[in-house]
Amino acid sequence: MQHTAIIRSLNTKIADHGTAAELMECGRRNDPGIRYPDIGAVVARELGRLESKVPDYVSLYTSTEGRRKGTSGFLGARYSPMFLSDSMTPANILRLESINDVDHHDRAALREALAKRFTAESRSLTVDSHLSAYQRVQGLMASADLFDIQQEPEAVRAKYGSTQFGEQCLIARRLVEAGVPFVKVARAWWDSHGQNFETHQELCADLDHCMSALLDDLQERGLLENTMVITLGEFGRTPGINASLGRDHFASAWSCSLSGAGIRGGVAYGKTDPEGHKVIEGEANAGDLFATILAALGIDHEHEYMLGSRPVPLSDFGSKPIREVLA
């Protein structure tokens, strides 16, 4: 917790899985004519490197309500997440055993030579995008080992544990260490409308263990000062217990945490009434959280993208960073 700030005064008003997830990932609701990029795509766009061979944005799979892959919105396919839907290893990135290494490189060289000849006569954004995709696939093939946790010492794997969430966190650390700007991992089944206490005994223990292991690992490797860990859902849960001994959707007063880069550790920001029904101090919305994350990462949240002649700021109009949690 010395690395972590808790924001416990979110009031985001929307308690529907799909719409709330969209709001919390993008920091605002989509307009009828605009598909906004999510936080991963924005970070990839602002902090990614054009010459990078690793992915800009990886979203590891999960099984839960309203599963979202993430979206690059109007930023385009270049910043779409690599979504791993069936396993934690990207499909079809290994060289076929029937093709030896020399042939593989010769084929790539031939394709590049033909492409250069073609682009000399047919220059366009579509052609450039096609060439960029090929180059990134080549880089991804060379990065396949990043998704293989067997490359890690047994002692490191043991720290994270053998749960799916723990293994995802370890892969996330490997990807971040290799230069991937944004990685999303997920722990499913928090939607505890019934039997809240039994399910959360498992869920909280898994989150606590894996998050602690990740923060410790990042710090020991000198990565934490340049890496932010965001712990976030799409809303909170009702303070009261329902007839099924569960807790229902609740977006009026809930919490998230930020750890690492740009964050003041050991801070608890905001306050609710004693029953947790409403925020009474430091109320923040999704746009404010989005602006806080960007500011902590050194990104100007008021910077504008241009959609034709329309300026669109990175965080929603009127959003302000929560300065009390920034280092």
pLDDT given at position 91: 77
CATH number for region 4-89+148-325: 3.40.720.10
pLDDT given at position 89: 79
pLDDT given at position 25: 94
* Residue 90 token pair: 């990207």
Alpha carbons 303 and 18: distance in angstroms, whole number: 27
As to burial, measured by CB atoms within 10 angstroms (0-12 exposed, 13-18 middle, 19+ buried), residue 68 is: buried
How does pLDDT run across 177-231, given as a tens digit for each residue?
A: 999 999 999 888 899 999 999 999 999 999 999 999 999 999 999 999 999 999 9
DSSP 186-203: -------SS-HHHHHHHH
As to burial, measured by CB atoms within 10 angstroms (0-12 exposed, 13-18 middle, 19+ buried), residue 58 is: buried
Q: Where are the domains of the chain?
A: 4-89+148-325
pLDDT given at position 62: 63
Q: Which residues of the chain are modeled with pLDDT < 50?
A: none
SS3 172: helix
β-strands 228-231, 236-237 pairing: unpaired
